[in-house]
Amino acid sequence: MSFRPALAAVLGLAFLPGCQPPPPAPEGLDEASRYMVREFYADDATFQAGIQGFMQWFEDEGKALVGLEASIDGEAEGTKPVDAFTLADLTAEDVIALPLKQDLLTGDAFNDGTTETTPRDVATAAGVVSVAEMACDWKQAEALLVRKDQDSVFSGDWEGYERTYVDDRAAFEAGSATDAYATFPERIDPFAEGFDRAAYAASFLQTDNMVDPTALLGVDIPSYPLDLDLRHGRYTLTDGSEVGVLSILTYDVDAVWGPGGENGLRQSFSIEINVERPDNKTLRMLAVWAEPVSPIISADAALALTFAVNKSQKSSERMSAVCAGEVDVPAEP
């Protein structure tokens, strides 16, 4: 990890004329995770405050969760009770910047071909977090997470995965290769007509994805569209240390249903923070809120939450093993 002073030309934070001073950092995991969803498209100073909030939580409490899995009773070695990993609910304000459908298709719409919908309630998506320290330099982690073949990187999580880059992937990767990032002097709206994508290409990357997940706890659904937005740069924490960060915001615009309309995914959101650490390691904190629909288990059941934590933890272990040379991933097609 680098401890040199932040360069205004690289960071573009409060050093630039007209930039506002950073707001107070969010306190605690619940506030930090919701803040990072809500402020993902914010100016650099505001975004940096969220990174500080996450790292303060990590120093105060999160270290106790590194590399651990969840269990319902918490008695197994290397685990903690699932309650230690649960998150507060998102609110409508947290996701207001996203181009979400506010009325979600229902399973009945799948069955009879109508357009029956139900109002979205983000509070019904149950949230969990996983924390891992990977044997990856943060730029190695980014190189894996930017690849189009995520089904190769995370073998076993996806039956199939297709990715389209809305923005210039090469410009984004050049940003981290040279440590020369585009600045965010103010909040951006990448969904607005006329958004100047070229101006932010070194720091911001939108992708459209068609994913086919493996069956989870009896919930088997077909391929569906998934949106992933990536943002990276170098940020200065209150202790003066400078860290490279890749953050990824993931969301589904609408609900998706399997055959018969019984199994589905009503909604899902995630915020992922990959932070540069000493000794060429990367701290990965992945917060996920999801509302799978199944006749056999509810989204907030302890078994479902435990499964979600451990699935996220295993994905970090997989990426760490790839970086350490313990697992081979084929060349990107």
1 located within any domain: no
Tokens 């600045």 correspond to what residue?
183
pTM: 0.92
Q: Given its phi and psi angles, is residue 233 left (phi above 0), alpha (psi -120 to 50 degrees) or beta?
A: left
Residue 61, pLDDT score: 96
- For residues 22-42, one letter each, b for 16 or more C-beta atoms within 10 angstroms of the residue's C-beta and e for the rest, the string is beebbeebbebbbbbbbbbbb
The CATH number of residue 269's host domain is 3.30.530.20
Q: Please, what is the Cα angle at 17 between 14 and 21, to 5 degrees?
A: 30
**Could you give the CA distance from residue 49 to residue 290 in angstroms, rounded to a whole number?**
26
Residue 222, pLDDT score: 83
List, in order, residues 6 or more apart from 203 with CB less than 8 Å away. Answer: 172, 175, 181, 182, 183, 184, 231, 232, 233
List, in order, residues 6 or more apart from 271 with CB less than 8 Å away. Answer: 33, 36, 37, 40, 247, 248, 249, 250, 286, 287
Residue 73, pLDDT score: 81
Q: Phi and psi of 159, rounded to 5°?
A: -75, -30
Residue 13, pLDDT score: 40
Q: In total, how many domains does the chain have?
A: 1
330 located within any domain: no
Structural domain range at position 96: 8-323
Residue 322, pLDDT score: 96
Instruction: Report the half-sphere exposure of 73 (CA within 13 A, side-chain side).
Output: 3
39 located within any domain: yes
Q: Please, what is the Cα angle at 208 between 202 and 211, to 5 degrees?
A: 135
Residue 330, pLDDT score: 93
Residue stretches of the chain with pLDDT short of 70: 1-20, 109-114, 215-219
329 located within any domain: no
Residue 18, pLDDT score: 41
333 located within any domain: no
Residue 217, pLDDT score: 61
135 located within any domain: yes
86 located within any domain: yes
97 located within any domain: yes
